[in-house]
Chains A and B, each alone.
Chain A
């Protein structure tokens, strides 16, 4: 993948470009509306959805509150089952570990199951720099990789592409990577899926090393779970001799029984199915069946910093279902690329600025990439109050304050761009605590209302460029109240 998120413009600029793209908007509207209706139907089948959602939240909260204990327990059980556990504090360390593990096998290519964690750390680019080819095998990831594109959705990274665009990418690019697309390929989804099957089969059959993430890790048993649809996951998890799984430390659940909650809520929330076509669970290695070497790379990469924030830590409950993207009015119009992260949409707007910090322009703008309508919270299967975290992060951007970075407590300075906002708030605070001044100001504003401009001058210009200024009443409310005795005396 040649696409990169480094040096992304702030959300408003990127979104401005995206909304002008008619094809993109059409593709996104079609896809998000299709899945929205289906998800609602799949959830409505479950009379106990609210209870499952609450249990999911509680399991994740409990795990996070005792994460040190569960990490150690997981390490013990994976090791006992024949796996090897590695720990990576950041992306570079995780990439280095994977590169070394691939090198030790003597191989120069790997097949990959779709994994958010490996995208987050830029594993494909790191492997490529070391001369190791990483083949994405999920259909959407393949479309992104062949199109030298960036993912724009958690579940369906090529959601911004329609079938015609996908046909063109396959016809043009497949021959560069291996088996070419069949002659006369049309844009029917079944034919496109068939082309991907043929293209990837040779890679699966010869693969010696597989790289995956995981949806869940069970601390008590050491079991990893991968939930998928196409069978590419099964191929990568079963056929290679060596399996390397790169997983965020927050993906733990304490017990095998806990899966009964998430295996019910995740498929319905993400692909709107009663159950996804394939789920694979494995515990270490099994003699004669599947990879005989299994490595688990646990990554922090900003997660412990997020855990240190008492409001923001709930984002670590996320099970990456992407329901919040599909219902978000901002995502539907701006698309995933504008978020400048592998985690787009509402969850990305609270996850990226926490994992990466709020210093960059894009990360400081992400908490504002929302109308705070709350639809994301409504559909979240682990009840992450995304609007609450967005507001919390906005406060951090504007006011600064204490945060944890790479395990150290630091105090952030207020962001530069918000001086006018802070000045306005300071002025408002002063005015509201000085009733005399407030009254004088309000009367003055009412009497001069005919001379008010339609837009604000100076720093307020950008704000009023997209909004109507509220109309000024002829008389301040407090004057009206006194004059009419609280509205009772209408003769005056």
Chain B
């Protein structure tokens, strides 16, 4: 017997006490918990997202679509960025306000190449207000996972209110499990020293989230 058969056989023998007509999955779990917590208007939900992002030390900015290029240019310049990596499908107008060197992510680029880049600008797939989370799903305006990981400065643009949901259950409904997902709640942090949270370890130490309202497709 190979180990696969051995383990499955052990499992079946271990469960000899479980009746064959055991409750099926559909009836086995009481989902009495909330789909979201509290009743908020759309504006309040966006406000909560901003609060929770800031609570975990993300820098939150708000602007209209027309103001976005200038804001992004300002953020990159304030950070002292020498270069910025961009995902292939980032809306072309977003970075028209800056002349900082743009690095296209290509399949050939190595982690070392990315390590030399100052910043990354992406969109996101969905944002979760209750937890202050942005989720990337590798879409064309977000790029491969590595580009939002190796550079030390990540600017993520969230279209509000369209991309904002209240809760984790609502976010999971919208996301495709077949895509590689990265859930980000504040910059890299650790609680490993005396169980106290310190921001800034391996991921980007500066996370800036731009909440863009109105027509952002500049």
Contacts and interface: CB of A to CB of B under 8 A. Distances in A.
A159 B190 CA distance: 13
Contacts of A320: none
A230 B15 contact: no
A138 B190 CA distance: 9
Contacts of B186: 277
Given A55-B31, A256-B172, A239 B111 contact: yes
Contacts of A67: 11, 15
A274 B32 contact: no
B78 interface: no
B9 interface: yes
Interface string B10-30: 111111011000110100111
Interface residues of A, number: 100
A52 interface: yes
B52 interface: yes
B90 interface: no
A162 B187 CA distance: 24
A71 B11 contact: yes
Interface in A126-143: 137-140, 143
Contacts of B163: none
A282 B33 CA distance: 26
Nearest to B194: A31
A339 interface: no
A48 interface: yes
B182 A279 contact: yes
Interface string A464-478: 000000000000000
A278 B203 contact: yes
A138 B192 contact: yes
B194 A163 contact: yes
Given A158-B192, A162-B194, A289 B180 contact: yes
B183 A239 contact: no
A50 B108 CA distance: 50
B138 A58 contact: no
Nearest to B4: A87
Contacts of B41: none
B124 to A, nearest CB: 14
A340 to B, nearest CB: 23
Given A230-B190, A273-B56, A280-B181, A235 B10 contact: no
A280 B2 CA distance: 32
A278 B195 CA distance: 17
Main secondary structure of the interface of B (DSSP, over half): loop
A205 B111 contact: yes
Interface in B195-213: 195-198, 200-204
B8 to A, nearest CB: 5
Given A48-B33, A189-B198, A290-B145, A205 B7 contact: no
B60 interface: no
A58 B28 contact: yes
A263 B183 CA distance: 11
A158 to B, nearest CB: 6
B205 to A, nearest CB: 8
A159 B195 contact: yes
A81 B180 CA distance: 12
A328 interface: no
Contacts of A254: 25
Contacts of A183: none
A47 B183 contact: no
A234 B183 CA distance: 10
B149 interface: yes
A196 B111 CA distance: 18
B192 to A, nearest CB: 4
Given A31-B194, A62-B23, A87-B3, 10 more contacts: A48-B34, A66-B18, A189-B196, A196-B201, A238-B145, A239-B111, A275-B128, A277-B56, A278-B185, A282-B180
Interface of B: 2-4, 6-15, 17-18, 22-23, 25, 28-34, 37, 52, 56, 107, 110-112, 115, 128, 130-133, 138, 144-146, 149-150, 168-169, 172-173, 177-198, 200-204
